[in-house]
Amino acid sequence: MSYVSAFVAAVPESNKDAYVEAAREAWKLFSEYGALGVHECWEDDVPDGKVTSFPMAVKREPGEKIVVSWIIWPDKATYERCIASTETDERWAQMAMPFDGKRMIYGTFTPIFTA
């Protein structure tokens, strides 16, 4: 069964091109380590919430857009090998992150239904 890693972040709108470039560079490594696919999504209509919302979760500031991303892995073991590589493969450290990673939320998921 596949495995999914996902994150939500707030990216300065002025950094959109830098974000796309960073995502393309990261994809090269993710795919090298076994990822099957990636979806990078830029905010179109993401409203503020009253109780909870994407903007509240990442403490979106004026001029920032929400990004949602998920990567499909063949299994959890492949994902874990990739994550372990961030400690040993210096190419990860060379990548620029065009947003505040401290406000990013992320997690991994086991699919329960796909169509």
**pLDDT per residue as tens digits for the range 61-109:** 999 999 999 999 999 999 999 999 999 999 999 998 999 999 999 999 9
Could you give all domains of the chain from N- to C-terminal order, each with its CATH number? 3-109 (3.30.70.100)
Rounded Cα gap, residues 115 and 102, in angstroms: 34
pLDDT on residue 82: 98
Residue 63, phi-psi category: left (phi > 0), alpha (psi -120 to 50), beta (remainder): left
Nearest to 91 by CA among 39, 25, 36, 34: 25
Question: Mean pLDDT across the chain, nearest whole number?
Answer: 97
**Each residue's pLDDT tens digit, 5-50:** 999 999 999 999 999 999 999 999 999 999 999 999 999 999 999 9
pLDDT band, very low/low/confident/very high, at 1 (cuts 50, 70, 90): confident
pTM of the predicted structure, to 2 decimals = 0.93
